[in-house]
Amino acid sequence: MTVRTVTQAPNDEIACPHCRKTIRFHRYGSMGNLNPHFYCDTCSNLFWRAEDFHRVYGNVPTKALIQEITGNLPSCPCGGRFTAEANPKCPHCHQELPHQDLLEDRLFDALAVQIEGAVLVIEE
């Protein structure tokens, strides 16, 4: 397996729902095939692994499938853990940004955001 990190320049911004400061981020769309992706529970780094995409493609999203995939996620470079429950955090107030989907549906979420300063960790 090859592991590499990718940093993208921000292409969008929002106001943090908690502190209202501007959060700059790179938005990955459906053409990027970053589903499923997982965020770090400590920072805003995100993780994508090719084999996980093949595990979810054509399957029904279940908690068992989430456990199968997340059972061997690597540690984040910051020392935190990539998890199915984590979300990106505001770089100013460090509050987690809410996600609109149920946990199982997030396996098929093609939209990923890379907060400015965070990295995308790819395992191929």
Encode pLDDT of 10-45 as tens digits.
999 999 999 999 999 999 876 656 789 999 999 999
Supply φ then ψ for residue 13, to 5 degrees: -155, 155
The confidence score (pLDDT) of residue 32 equals 56
Distances in Å between the Cα of 114 and the Cα atoms of 18, 35, 63, 78 are: 18, 14, 25, 15
Average pLDDT, the chain: 90
Q: Decide if pLDDT at 88 tops 70.
A: yes
Separation of alpha carbons 65 and 50, rounded Å: 15
Q: Is 78 helix (H, G, I), strand (E, B) or coil?
A: coil
The per-type count for the chain, helices as H runs and strands as E runs, is 2, 8
